[in-house]
A and B are shown apart, each in its own frame.
Chain A
């Protein structure tokens, strides 16, 4: 990017000269002012995708993302954690009560944002997963909004990679906090970019809200924010060095260019900047307090939220401890295309030094990977956090290749999307509970749904329907409370007892004790795998069995 252009279009510096001509319709005046010359080696025409092609491709990607995320969301049984989250939602939906508990669970946004789908579709599995699916699709949409910063081919590639990413799809069809968390992280980045670009207060407020929602979604917000900050600082340092070197080469001297952020603040004026910052902070506090205090019904939740970091610092070193390289290994197996293209994008951005945003994203992606690798606690859903920036970096790589050879870039992207699509479909619609894959992490076996159907059939035949008495003796039973949520007489005993209920559910490990407790009053209907290592046994009282069947 020429120095002259930097001077005249300081706020555009993040775009790095890529695809400014095809900038979104929101900035027609910027398009008009775009310089005829581009950065050395980057011809303007070569970075463009025709407008019609952009429209068709972006709509196709959105539709594909929506189909993959919304198709039969109840196909996969709920994971243990989804069941727990479902219980919180159930209480909030039915009684309007939610109390934040820092010791065990994440923030409240998931439950509040799922209220609308639950109201629209009913309190069922489709609705709760529709909420996360919606955020998953919205993430793909946000990626398309990065067109100004990574170019049209880059934005299309990044969104396609995420739309078809096995992990992104899997956890968009999963009622946990991760998809929301990832959306708010990206939302924060996109809003800040918008603010850097336009200096509009609205963008700063959106960034503030995104940051607040990030913190009210999950405690790991601190990790993401730290990595984003480090990535930003490193990007600035790197570009200062590059600029200084260029100036030395050119034999120039004089005051160095201001950073884009500095220019935005300078243009805004000190008083306005301070006011904006203050309002943004207040907005952050407001959203934070509203959610954690359950909309001012539980003020203790706000102080509890601050304690959460303490709990999670402990959990992060005790549970789910894995080798430091496990994320790389997992990514290599399930997200090879995103990983490879992301790494390539990082290298290109470092080498060319022409696009601050691309470098920032690469640092964000691999910085986050490094951070989560350093933390002993490792679960596959955390990988979604770095899949998104990796996909953006990958998009930048595709965009850079596109400048040199459209054919190669399209071929690479098509191959990557084809591989990802195959993996996604195989995982999400066929092997969603197969623990040989990475993402189904101690996942509930599909046999559980057969057991739930059987219970429903027996309860209906028995005549009591939803009032049928059910005793759960197994200590492992999640996500059964979700599936049995409409039954009014379900007892969770966590151990064997003398039962008289119509239906008894125990685990195979309890079989010897069961014999004594149930005697010949009950009949075994079937054994159903709950998850690897746990099998549930379904018993029904003999008189009911005889009467109904």
Chain B
């Protein structure tokens, strides 16, 4: 465990020092936040390619750590050393001031970040937890995703999955941004339990995300209050779902407050309804490890773009870099970071490139933009090439016309009003308000403009096999819009009187539903068992009996214990396979034939080169199973009702 923590700390230090290469002005806190995400990403990429080359061992781990911390070498240079020292002293003085003579702002910042840290700790602590030898999740939306991520991690840790093969579909290349899960695998290899590894990584990146949101909004708006409101708007995103709570409190006569202690449903997202705009924490950041790392990295890139825009645009670039309309150094850094995104989060990578293209047209400065694109493509190309090998993705399933995102039969305007509440009307007010002072200046409006496409396009076109996944793009519109809405609220607040109260009410109305969902997790009411004790023991049996890359046939369900073993699965959960654009139907039918012991079943086993087959109540519950068919195979292990059979080789 200590080694895992040291590895994470090593990444934070390396990443933080690397920020001195491109950023001369950021605060120490902003550097640490950006550095934590950069460091972990570099650790993951270095570790992955080293592991692919020399095996996923302590040795490759050590080498990756060395690469990650290499920016320490910068301290050999006097100017870097002095800047780092000045920042360290500045940070120390801030802490001292907080203890001795805190200003109002110190108290507000401390309270804000302390509250956020405690809340995130408790939230990520519920993402996965073990109790009495069983594995649970306390986040309803994580029920489907967690086993998938666990299977990716175990495939790396126990199955030496290089080059990566889809853990839920043996034989197919893993065309998925697996880097965040690979980082988790590295922490597991360093001695952390799976549960703690996921927690450590998520908590570090979660805190960094809040800091980066704050920093980005501050850069964009130059308004401290708006900068503080932005993370609140983003993290507690939601719509008018709180009205459902009132409705339910009325119908049950239980009352809102008593209901808060036993919330049984979410208030931002509900399956089978037109409530689809799930809270970012409970629907995206906890269940989807990729976007948790992708979003902060994208924010670093966006902030660098903003810094790079020269005075011509009303920017604030330092004088020595104002030769062009767009400064070079931040753009080079942005390009390098963007280049690391394909393995982190593919949708984020696509969004960053698309936004860059639009911004390049709006803010001309071809040299800087060429540097950005050049570096991004050079760094990303090997990753893309690597992960596209053996891909069985049907690209047609990703694209198609689809108006109104996941609205079902709901009226489009009503759908967005329900799901985002007053956010869009307030955004319009921030963008178009003309009486008196404009909320956003020309540069900010131009900069924001491309992000509107992140809302418009996913409302017209399907960008993933499952339409809901368009949220991975729409969220960038929301994140980009939040500073503008926050700025409007900050202006209202400053005008005092009734407007101040209205500002508070507006903020509450936009964050109440998200708060309810977050509170639901914090209240520790929901918990779903993912793997039971017997299942976990059975995974250990598989690991003991079968070789690391053995191919196993089991029921195609999302939480089969075989996924914990690290072995290859002939076929995992169809829900996961489909969302990755793989046509699984033939194989699914074959799996049913095999378990039913139909004629040709043995030939199918041979065809797929299945080495082991699992028989348990899970298979019996999922499809017809003819037990007599399995008598011909040797039982090599069992745990409770789970049995593992060895298929004789050819």
| Residues of A near any B CB (own CB < 8 A) | 93-94, 118-124, 127, 486
Q: Does B364 contact A (CB under 8 A)?
A: no
User: Range of interface residues on chain B?
Assistant: under 10
CB-CB nearest in chain A for B247 = A119
Q: Is the interface of A mostly helix, strand, loop or mixed?
A: helix
The CA of A25 and the CA of B625, in the complex, are separated in Å by: 80
Q: Does B360 contact A (CB under 8 A)?
A: no
CB-CB nearest in chain B for A123 = B253
Among A93, A119, A123, A124, chain B packs the most CB atoms within 10 A around the CB of A119
User: Is the CB–CB distance between B255 and A124 below 8 Å?
Assistant: yes
User: Is the CB–CB distance between A120 and B250 below 8 Å?
Assistant: no
The CA of A121 and the CA of B253, in the complex, are separated in Å by: 9
Q: When A and B form their complex, which 8 residue pairs have the shortest distance between CB atoms, in order from nearest? A: A122-B255, A121-B255, A123-B253, A120-B256, A122-B254, A122-B258, A121-B257, A120-B257
A-B contact pairs, 15 of them (CB 8 A): A93-B253, A94-B253, A118-B253, A118-B255, A119-B250, A119-B255, A120-B249, A120-B255, A121-B255, A122-B254, A122-B255, A122-B258, A124-B255, A127-B255, A486-B253
CB-CB nearest in chain A for B259 = A122
CB-CB nearest in chain B for A122 = B255
**Which residues of chain B are near A486, meaning CB under 8 Å?**
253
Q: Does B499 contact A (CB under 8 A)?
A: no
**Which residues of chain A are near B253, meaning CB under 8 Å?**
93-94, 118, 122-123, 486
Q: Does B428 contact A (CB under 8 A)?
A: no
The CA of A124 and the CA of B249, in the complex, are separated in Å by: 12
**Which residues of chain A are near B502, meaning CB under 8 Å?**
none
Q: For residue A482, give the distance in angstroms from its CB to the closest CB of chain B.
A: 13
The CA of A120 and the CA of B259, in the complex, are separated in Å by: 9
**Which residues of chain B are near A93, meaning CB under 8 Å?**
250, 253
**Which residues of chain B are near A127, meaning CB under 8 Å?**
255
Q: Does B246 contact A (CB under 8 A)?
A: yes
Task: For the A-B complex with A93-B250, A94-B253, A486-B253 known, give 20 more contacts whose Cβ atoms are closer than 8 Å.
Answer: A93-B253, A118-B253, A119-B249, A119-B255, A119-B256, A120-B249, A120-B255, A120-B256, A120-B257, A121-B255, A121-B256, A121-B257, A121-B258, A122-B249, A122-B253, A122-B255, A122-B258, A123-B253, A123-B255, A124-B255
The CA of A127 and the CA of B258, in the complex, are separated in Å by: 11
Specify which of A119, A121, A123 is in contact with B246 (CB 8 Å cutoff): A119
Q: Is the interface of B mostly helix, strand, loop or mixed?
A: helix
**Which residues of chain B are near A123, meaning CB under 8 Å?**
253, 255
The CA of A93 and the CA of B250, in the complex, are separated in Å by: 8
Among A93, A122, A127, chain B packs the most CB atoms within 10 A around the CB of A122
The CA of A127 and the CA of B257, in the complex, are separated in Å by: 11
**Which residues of chain B are near A124, meaning CB under 8 Å?**
255
CB-CB nearest in chain B for A118 = B255
Among A94, A123, A486, chain B packs the most CB atoms within 10 A around the CB of A123
**Which residues of chain A are near B258, meaning CB under 8 Å?**
121-122
The CA of A486 and the CA of B246, in the complex, are separated in Å by: 20
Q: Which of B241-269 contact A (CB under 8 A)?
A: 246, 249-250, 253-258
CB-CB nearest in chain B for A202 = B498
The CA of A246 and the CA of B246, in the complex, are separated in Å by: 63
Q: For residue B253, give the distance in angstroms from its CB to the closest CB of chain A.
A: 4
CB-CB nearest in chain B for A121 = B255
The CA of A120 and the CA of B257, in the complex, are separated in Å by: 6
Q: Which of B122-172 contact A (CB under 8 A)?
A: none
Q: For residue B50, give the distance in angstroms from its CB to the closest CB of chain A.
A: 58
The CA of A121 and the CA of B258, in the complex, are separated in Å by: 6
Residues 303-340 of chain B: 1 if any A CB is under 8 Å from the residue's CB, otherwise 0?
A: 00000000000000000000000000000000000000
The CA of A275 and the CA of B472, in the complex, are separated in Å by: 56
Q: For residue B499, give the distance in angstroms from its CB to the closest CB of chain A.
A: 14
The CA of A94 and the CA of B249, in the complex, are separated in Å by: 11
Q: For residue A91, give the distance in angstroms from its CB to the closest CB of chain B.
A: 13
**Which residues of chain B are near A119, meaning CB under 8 Å?**
246, 249-250, 255-256
**Which residues of chain B are near A120, meaning CB under 8 Å?**
249, 255-257
**Which residues of chain B are near A94, meaning CB under 8 Å?**
253
Q: For residue A96, give the distance in angstroms from its CB to the closest CB of chain B.
A: 10
The CA of A471 and the CA of B172, in the complex, are separated in Å by: 72
**Which residues of chain A are near B246, meaning CB under 8 Å?**
119
CB-CB nearest in chain B for A117 = B255
Q: For residue A265, give the distance in angstroms from its CB to the closest CB of chain B.
A: 26
Q: For residue B258, give the distance in angstroms from its CB to the closest CB of chain A.
A: 5
CB-CB nearest in chain B for A94 = B253
The CA of A118 and the CA of B258, in the complex, are separated in Å by: 11
**Which residues of chain B are near A121, meaning CB under 8 Å?**
255-258
Q: For residue A121, give the distance in angstroms from its CB to the closest CB of chain B.
A: 4
**Which residues of chain B are near A122, meaning CB under 8 Å?**
249, 253-255, 257-258
Q: For residue B157, give the distance in angstroms from its CB to the closest CB of chain A.
A: 49
The CA of A278 and the CA of B642, in the complex, are separated in Å by: 83
